[in-house]
A and B are shown apart, each in its own frame.
Chain A
Amino acid sequence: MRGFGDLEAAIMDRLWVRNAPATVRELHSDLLPDRDIAYNTVLTVVDNLYKKGWLRREREGRAHRYEPTRSREEYGALLMRDALDEAGDPAEALVRFVGRMSADEAAALRQALQAHERSNAK
């Protein structure tokens, strides 16, 4: 399902912005102003997202209502854990701006910066 990556992201985005479960029909009409897509395409992609665990659904009459399994913040936290975790994988896949250090070391940095700014202000 390579080609649908963009549409998948758009659907997840709509659902997070709505902040409420939606049917495929609602999602389709939500997306229509921006992109010319068929109802069936949306249905397929939503179903894929459900199967991959990105969405959960509840039956409502003859249709399903879908919502994200996790909030955007939860995925954000997941990403940060992965990005800041140095002890985990030996293959560091990311280049961080600054690594993690102890609170004491961070405090020492802050003091050095403050001392510099004070001496410059004089």
Chain B
Amino acid sequence: MTGMHLLLFAIAVSTLAPRGLAKADWVYRSPRLGIAAWYAVLGAVLTAAAGAVLAAVAPWQAATAPACMAWRWCVQAARGDFGLLGRSAAFVVLLAGLGLTVRLLLTGVRLARAASARRRAHVRILAMAGRTAPELGATVVENAQPAAYVVAGHGRRVVVTTGALQQLAGDEVAAVLAHERAHAAGRHDLLLDGVRLLHHAFPRMALFAVAHTQLCRLVEMRADEVAIARHAPISLARALVTMATANAIDHGSRTPALAGVVAATGGDAAERLHRLLTPPAPLGRAQRAGLVAGITVLALAPAVTLLAVQVFPVLGMCPALPS
């Protein structure tokens, strides 16, 4: 029964969450809680799905630890205790679960390799051709295009172009660097890597696609929020517009493949600008506390359910199989 409940829970959350979270006003007001909520949703769905597969494979019996259950089931299945139908059904479910897991692992390895190769190559050139500017806490790259970014991965270097230093006023540069440092300090590259992995492993899952775009959006809003705590929002707004204009793509050179990506960033940038110019009221204390509680419950619900059914009373007690 647990398996069925977990499956229903996973389906319900992955259908409801994208709609609810993407448009929620509190997410716009507190991007950090939004990020937490998205990861809670992802964690809950994954745990519930894994739990459902386990439950289908190994019929729950009280007072046994998962390892024992699996072992028992293997022995019983091998002896043909469940009949041919039960055996093949369990086999199919197990195979599906394994297949999905393998797919996730393979995608992870492929993405991680590609990303780290690209990062290494980038950092290598950066180390040679960039100038370290300790007063900025950034590496300066010779280029007329105004731009700033963080190289993801170990070290998380903040990079800014000479074009940005020339075209932006001093306080604008400071605000942009604060934004990038917020990405680095918040390990935002890892946050995005996690959801990108899911999205690439299961491209047809709407939940992962929406989660990916939403987390890209929220991570930028969060970095803005950190930056304007110490710098004037208008400085960041001006920098945003200057950089967006300088890096804009002409319609002529716009490839159809790129159009979707570009439209998404254009919309996100407009929203960010609006947020900087007219900052939303922060969440009230009660609302915040309620949301934190809700997010925590959501994240832990499937795991706790599984544990409650499974691990009690004692781990590692394997009752002898009736022969």
**Which A residues have a C-beta under 8 Å from some C-beta of B?**
5, 8-9, 12-13, 54, 72-73, 75-80, 82-84, 86-87, 89-110, 112-113, 116-117
Contacts and interface: CB of A to CB of B under 8 A. Distances in A.
B118 A91 contact: yes
A109 B129 contact: no
Interface stretch (B21-29, B234-242, B290-298): B234-242
A99 B261 contact: yes
A90 B269 contact: no
B141 A109 contact: no
Contact of A101 (B127, B183, B237, B262): B262
Contacts of B70: none
Nearest to A52: B124
Contact of B248 (A79, A80, A83, A101): A101
A110 B264 CA distance: 18
Given A93-B153, A99-B262, A84 B196 contact: no
B140 to A, nearest CB: 9
B129 A72 contact: yes
Interface of B: 111-112, 114-115, 118-119, 121-122, 125-131, 141-143, 145, 147-153, 159, 161-162, 176, 179-180, 183, 188-189, 192, 196, 200, 219, 234, 237-241, 243-245, 247-251, 254-255, 257-258, 261-270, 273-274, 277
Contacts of B234: 117
A107 B248 CA distance: 9
A103 B161 contact: no
B248 A106 contact: yes
B189 A84 contact: no
A110 B268 CA distance: 14
Contact of A94 (B128, B142, B149, B238): B149
B125 A109 contact: no
B149 A89 contact: no
Contact of A113 (B118, B251, B266, B277): B277
B241 A93 contact: no
